[in-house]
Amino acid sequence: MIYLDYAAHAPADPAVLERFCDMERRFPANPNSVHAAGKTAREEMARVTEQIAALTGASPAEVIFTSGATEANNLAIKGIAQASRHIGKHIISTPLEHSSVSGSLTALQERGWEIDLLSIGRDGTVDPEEVRELLRPDTVLVAICAVDSELGTIQPVNEIAALLADHPNCRLHVDATQAIGRIPVDFSGIDTLSFAPHKFGGICGSGVLLKRSRMPLEPQMNGGASTTLYRSGTPALGLAASSALALQLACDERESRYAVVQRHSEQLRKALATYPAVHINSPEHAVPHILNLSVKNVKGTVFQRALSEKGVCVSVKSACSADGLPSRAVFAVSRDRRNALSSWRISLSHLTTDAEIDEFLSVFDACYHELVK
């Protein structure tokens, strides 16, 4: 099998798995318990939280562990909106967001919030000037991904953060799920930032929300204070410790990992460009980890199934979005519905080998000649 769907999930690093098992063995107690075993587990939880804070430029009190980026996005968006409803109910976002962001926004819209979506340029980015134009006294949130999951476009998050500095009632939520561990991410100027360690060698079921201290946020889960007021439940020490290690490894090795991915991405772009029916949708300046393409007049789902039958795993849109609809992100950059319906995504990691790229290209060639008439 050739796995080219690392943006959906990356395998846990063996050292991370080992850390998880070790923590589960060494700390059998609930960190919320007040007995000696609970206190030891809580101290370890504090140590792990400090490690994540140090790696992300946050303080330990700003780290909230969640079950994944979906939960982190829901908590940030709904929590900010509900905590600021006395100020206003206007939110600005983009058509490139993951369904956990767009779904949270739709849920708010149904309850009376007003959502404005920014336009996407041909290069896949939003224009911070348009954010300035859309801002109103009742705007309480701008929600934007640092890197989108379908095209891999890098958004001008720091510029947006800078212009929001003059709007203290408007919060900035950044979904950094496809950015952390791949490109440098800066928490400064951002109110909440979500990511999921299972995208870069952590364990599935782990997520993090960084939340600026003293910023009001309505919890979405009730059930006691735990290690933070904002997310109840028994703290998952094993997952938190494995997340910290995955993040440490991803940060330490970021440049060397990036170089491997970039080399493979360039090879793929060059080889795929020789097929007349192929259109590369990911902008030139996208992260190399994500390569979105369309094969003219062949639905993305059809090409993906053909590749899958030959042992190659790629995605159509992101793994969590509804099937059968054209990709909103690809439509935004190509303004072409048929092209958006034909799109699918290769996503790479530093684990991808030269042999896998060669094998992928040969399977792609076979599918192309079967499906393109």
Q: How far is the CB of 33 from ligand PLP (least distance, A)?
A: 28
CB 271 within 8 A of CB 57: no
Among 6, 3, 2, CA closest to 257:
6
Window 23 to 52, contacts with ligand PLP (CB under 6 A) = none
Taking CB under 6 A as the criterion, the residue among 19, 42, 89, 98 binding ligand PLP is 98
- Residue 68 in the binding site for ligand PLP (CB under 6 A): yes
Contact between 243 and ligand PLP per CB under 6 A = no
State which H helix or E strand residue 356 sits in: helix 354-371
- Going from the C-alpha of 322 to that of each of 149, 168, 335, the distances in angstroms are 14, 36, 20
Q: What is the dihedral of CA 352, 175, 72, 344, to 10 degrees?
A: -50
6 by DSSP, 3-state: which? coil
Judge whether 298 and 372 are in contact, CB under 8 Å: yes
Task: Kindly state the smallest distance separating residue 182's Cβ from ligand PLP, in Å.
Answer: 11
Least distance in angstroms from the C-beta of 321 to ligand PLP:
9
Query: Strand pairing partners for 141?
Result: 91, 171
Q: How far is the CB of 247 from ligand PLP (least distance, A)?
A: 14
Q: Look at residues 76, 100, 344 and name the one whose alpha carbon lies nearest to residue 231.
A: 76
Q: How far is the CB of 177 from ligand PLP (least distance, A)?
A: 4
Q: Which residue lies nearer to ligand PLP by CB, 319 or 351?
A: 319
Helices and strands per DSSP (H, E), number in the chain? 12, 12
Residue 111 DSSP SS3? coil
Q: Name the one range near ligand PLP by CB under 6 A: 69-77, 127-135, 163-171, 343-351.
A: 69-77
Stretch that binds ligand PLP, among 53-61, 67-75, 235-243, 358-366 (CB under 6 A): 67-75
For residue 305, which amino acid is it?
A: R
User: What would the 3-class secondary structure string for 299-365 be?
Assistant: CHHHHHHHHHHCCEECECCCCCCCCCCCCHHHHHHHCCHHHHHCEEEEECCCCCCHHHHHHHHHHHH
| Residue, CB closest to ligand PLP | 68
Give the number of residues in contact with ligand PLP, rule: CB under 6 A.
Answer: 17
Catalytic residue among 170, 204, 313, 320: 320
Looking only at residues 199 through 228 of this chain, which bind ligand PLP when binding is defined by CB under 6 A? Answer: 207
Report in angstroms how near the CB of residue 155 gets to ligand PLP at its nearest: 11
Q: Looking at the DSSP assignment, which residues form a beta bridge with residue 347?
A: 5, 290
| The dihedral formed by the CA atoms of 124, 4, 269 and 101, expressed in degrees to the nearest 10 | 0
Angle at 139 between CA 137 and CA 144, to 5 degrees: 145
Residue 320 bears catalytic tag: yes
Q: Tell me the per-residue interface mask from 135 to 174 with ligand PLP, x by CB under 6 A, - otherwise.
A: ----------x---x-------------------------
Q: Which is nearer to ligand PLP, 153 or 265 (CB)?
A: 153
User: Of 84, 93, 100, 125, which one interacts with ligand PLP (CB under 6 A)?
Assistant: 100
Task: Round to whole Å and give the CA distance between 361 and 129.
Answer: 41
- Give yes or no for residue 175 binding ligand PLP (CB under 6 A): yes
Contact between 69 and ligand PLP per CB under 6 A: yes
Q: Which residues pair with 193 in a beta bridge?
A: 174, 210
Q: Per rule CB under 6 A, is residue 177 in the interface with ligand PLP?
A: yes
Q: Which residue in the set 117, 196, 249, 340 belongs to the binding site for ligand PLP (CB under 6 A)?
A: 196
Q: Which residues bind ligand PLP (CB under 6 A)?
A: 7-8, 68-70, 73, 98, 100, 145, 149, 175, 177-178, 196, 207, 318-319
Point out the residues that are catalytic.
Answer: 320
